A and B are shown apart, each in its own frame.
Chain A
Amino acid sequence: MNNTQPGTMRRMDVFRFARAAATAYPLRTLLSILAMAIGVASVVLLTALGDGARRYVVAQFSSLGSHLVIVLPGRSATGGFNPANGMTTTPRDLTVDDAAALLRAPAIQRVAPLIVGTSEISANGRVREVVAVGSTASFMPIRNYELAQGKFLPDEDWRGSSPVAVIGTTIQKDIFANQAAVGKLIRLGDRRLRVIGVLKSTGQGMGMNTDELVIVPVGLAQALFDSNNLFRIMIQARGRDQIEAAKTQVTAIIKVRHGGEEDVTVITQDAVLATFDKLLGALTAAVAGIAAISLLVAGVLVMNVMLVAVTQRRAEIGLMKALGARGNTLRQIFLTEAAMLSLAGAVAGYLLGQLGAWGLRWAFPVFPAYAPAWAVVAALATALATGLVFGLLPAQRAARLDPVDALMRH
């Protein structure tokens, strides 16, 4: 490394000389380091935010269950214009029989019909409003719910309506305080039900907050709300590769049952996930791109700082030429100085950005604000590259300076 071709300045000397020159003008040096640092830090921090949002959403969606296919009544507006839609009055309701029919589909493992309504729960001398969900035993495995105590709904005929309920933790606290809830009787609307299980707390997430739910058999909910209309049908496909097949089969089965009309919307979790993943990934990239503009600005600043340095050190450059410095040596000295400024700024910015991301994670523990590796590498590389590219012009100017002019007029 140190043994360059004879007659040219050694690399180590170039490095030391450039470092001494940079530290001799601390304000100017700090300014360009700061500009570069802000650029890199903003890339690191903003991509940490963007990618954190993406991870958060993906994690939330994944927690909904695996291989999930969801059927909604009515044709989604985004499903494109279907001339048949124009003819029909209102879409047919989804019924428990529709849901049961789906069990025939080979790609489908589990089906859970869902009826949702509000009701009043009273027990233990307390009363409160609740969201009641009517479903079946399959609902728990499909949604990956876990129980804190007791059992989930019994695996009975869907028409059956055992007088039982599974409640969320908030309901348990509100109604039963610290007492055990399992085995207790409650009143839901005009029904008397026995609590058979308490769900584990899941907290606020995507979809329904199970902490505030009362889950009852679907037949009971139908009677309670006096309605056959399903809010959703939740389906678990037999595997990841069966999701598309399940979607096709669901659509076909419902179409036959609804007189040849496609009046439902079938959403697959994967599709939603992929859409969000792509959307937020693109957002992160866009944000990184915008932040990269600040790197460009920093590069221009480094160039200006170096141009000022060349002007300020004209006499010195002329002297070095008089002492036998080659143009290339001067180019190297000034390029090295520019590279040092950019590198120092990049490293400072990286640390600053990571510190910021850490602060975000500390303040919002559920938010995984980690800058993606590609963004960090790109930011550091861009910082160094801009520093070097924008350092070229000043270095070239130094190398080309007329020594007589530089020495005499200063």
Chain B
Amino acid sequence: MALISLAGIERVFHLGESSVHALARIDLQIEAGEYVAVVGPSGSGKSTLLNLLGLLDQPTSGTYHLEGRDVTTLSPDEQAAVRSRRIGFVFQSFHLVPRLTAAENIALPMMLAGMPASVRERRVQQALRNFGLDSRGHHRPDELSGGQRQRVAIARATIMQPAALLADEPTGNLDRATGDEVIHLLEGLNASGVTLIIVTHDAKLAARARRQITMEDGRVKADSVQAGADNPPQMPVQGGATDE
């Protein structure tokens, strides 16, 4: 059973008289544990697709099965629960809450899920260690470097041990070296089992993924699996925590 299965997905935006077909008849299967890069020119529908996969947006038509469950018909609260438990988001602009410390930002999904403070504390400490942020837990985002901020964001995205990690241009706001670090981190998480879907317009970065989906005008133009892709270096990193 595929982790993600899209059938005939369309997303139409209405702007006054005109309508934009951001996604048009998308059929797509992504297996659990895959490493997928979504590429394509600006405006081709990459972000719209990712938002749909993350249940932040609803398709105009078509069906979306996540882990075998039709999630398009779920109520908003049920969709929120799926986002909470099964999906992790990483954004280009990090989206950390400025008044919260790194530790508090990482704990946010657990707090929203109503987990007790003791469990939160344990998992956050583990995550800070795993992501090399040991000494940064009490710092606010404005006291962190770009790379550190994105690491906090990735720690937050994985703290609930999601099935899929959705990253929209995760290196877009970082310099080359820091971007590479972040990519290695994400690849390490993928190696430990998390499905990784990265939207990027960086061809070199996309080439690292085993599977590339090329979008154009809201359609999948190409969907290729590179047999000979480099095996990304394994990193001793695990998502979130080990307890439950």
Q: Is B47 interfacial (CB-CB < 8 Å)?
A: yes
Q: Mark B129-161, 1 if CB is under 8 A from A, else 0.
A: 000000000000000000000000000100010
Q: Mark A1-31, 1 if CB is under 8 A from B, else 0.
A: 0001111111001000100110010000000
The interface residues of chain A lying within 8 Å CB-to-CB of B112 are 9, 320, 323-325, 329
B97 contacts A319, C-beta separation under 8 Å: yes
Q: Mark B109-130, 1 if CB is under 8 A from A, else 0.
A: 1011110100000000000000
A319 contacts B95, C-beta separation under 8 Å: yes
Known A325-B80, A408-B47; contact A6-B114, beta-carbon cutoff 8 A: yes
Q: Is A322 interfacial (CB-CB < 8 Å)?
A: yes
Q: Is A404 interfacial (CB-CB < 8 Å)?
A: yes
* Interface members, chain A 105-136 (any B CB < 8 Å): none
User: How many A residues face the partner with a CB closer than 8 A?
Assistant: 30
Q: How near does chain A come to B237, taking the closest CB pair, in angstroms? A: 21
Q: Is B30 interfacial (CB-CB < 8 Å)?
A: no
Instruction: Using CB atoms, name the residue of chain B closest to A400.
Output: B76
A326 touches which one: B76, B100, B111 (CB < 8 A)? B76
Measured CA separation A5–B99 after assembly (Å): 27
B91 contacts A321, C-beta separation under 8 Å: no
The CB with the most chain A CB atoms within 10 A, among B91, B112, B116, B160, is that of: B112
The interface residues of chain B lying within 8 Å CB-to-CB of A403 are 56
The interface residues of chain B lying within 8 Å CB-to-CB of A281 are none
Measured CA separation A325–B110 after assembly (Å): 10
Known A8-B114, A324-B113; contact A315-B99, beta-carbon cutoff 8 A: no
The interface residues of chain A lying within 8 Å CB-to-CB of B99 are 20-21, 24
Please choose the segment from B37-45, B82-90, B180-188, B223-231 that sits at the chain A interface, where 4 or more of its residues have CB less than 8 A away.
B82-90
A323 contacts B109, C-beta separation under 8 Å: yes
Q: How near does chain B come to A217, taking the closest CB pair, in angstroms? A: 85
User: How many B residues face the partner with a CB closer than 8 A?
Assistant: 28
Known A21-B99, A322-B89, A407-B95; contact A9-B111, beta-carbon cutoff 8 A: yes
A324 contacts B114, C-beta separation under 8 Å: no
Q: Is B54 interfacial (CB-CB < 8 Å)?
A: yes
A7 touches which one: B51, B95, B113 (CB < 8 A)? B113
Q: Is A327 interfacial (CB-CB < 8 Å)?
A: yes
Instruction: Using CB atoms, name the residue of chain B closest to A8.
Output: B114
Q: How near does chain A come to B80, taking the closest CB pair, in angstroms? A: 5
Q: Is A316 interfacial (CB-CB < 8 Å)?
A: yes
The interface residues of chain B lying within 8 Å CB-to-CB of A17 are 111
A7 contacts B81, C-beta separation under 8 Å: yes
Measured CA separation A25–B85 after assembly (Å): 31
A326 contacts B80, C-beta separation under 8 Å: yes
A327 touches which one: B77, B85, B109, B116 (CB < 8 A)? B77
Instruction: Using CB atoms, name the residue of chain B closest to A20.
Output: B99
The interface residues of chain B lying within 8 Å CB-to-CB of A323 are 83-84, 89, 108-109, 112, 156
B100 touches which one: A20, A327, A328 (CB < 8 A)? A20
Q: Is B202 interfacial (CB-CB < 8 Å)?
A: no
Known A319-B95, A322-B83, A327-B76; contact A13-B56, beta-carbon cutoff 8 A: no
B47 contacts A324, C-beta separation under 8 Å: no
The interface residues of chain B lying within 8 Å CB-to-CB of A5 are 114
Known A9-B112, A316-B97; contact A324-B56, beta-carbon cutoff 8 A: no
* Interface members, chain A 290-335 (any B CB < 8 Å): 315-316, 318-329
The interface residues of chain A lying within 8 Å CB-to-CB of B91 are 407
A315 contacts B100, C-beta separation under 8 Å: no
B51 touches which one: A24, A315, A316, A404 (CB < 8 A)? A404
Measured CA separation A404–B97 after assembly (Å): 17
The interface residues of chain B lying within 8 Å CB-to-CB of A315 are 95
The interface residues of chain B lying within 8 Å CB-to-CB of A320 are 108, 112
Measured CA separation A326–B80 after assembly (Å): 6
The interface residues of chain A lying within 8 Å CB-to-CB of B109 are 323-324
Q: Is B57 interfacial (CB-CB < 8 Å)?
A: yes
A322 touches which one: B47, B56, B97, B116 (CB < 8 A)? B56
The interface residues of chain A lying within 8 Å CB-to-CB of B98 are 24
Measured CA separation A8–B109 after assembly (Å): 11
The interface residues of chain B lying within 8 Å CB-to-CB of A322 are 54, 56, 83, 89, 95
The interface residues of chain A lying within 8 Å CB-to-CB of B47 are 408
Instruction: Using CB atoms, name the residue of chain B closest to A324.
Output: B84
Q: How near does chain B come to A197, taking the closest CB pair, in angstroms? A: 78
Known A322-B83, A324-B80; contact A404-B57, beta-carbon cutoff 8 A: yes
- Residues of A at the B interface (CB closer than 8 Å) are 4-10, 13, 17, 20-21, 24, 315-316, 318-329, 403-404, 407-408
Q: Give 5 A-B contacts (CB < 8 Å), ordered by A residue.
A: A318-B95, A322-B54, A322-B95, A325-B112, A326-B77
A326-B80, A327-B80, A328-B77 are known contacts; what are 14 more A-B pairs with Cβ within 8 Å? A6-B114, A7-B84, A20-B100, A21-B99, A316-B97, A321-B56, A321-B83, A323-B89, A323-B108, A324-B83, A324-B85, A327-B77, A329-B112, A407-B91
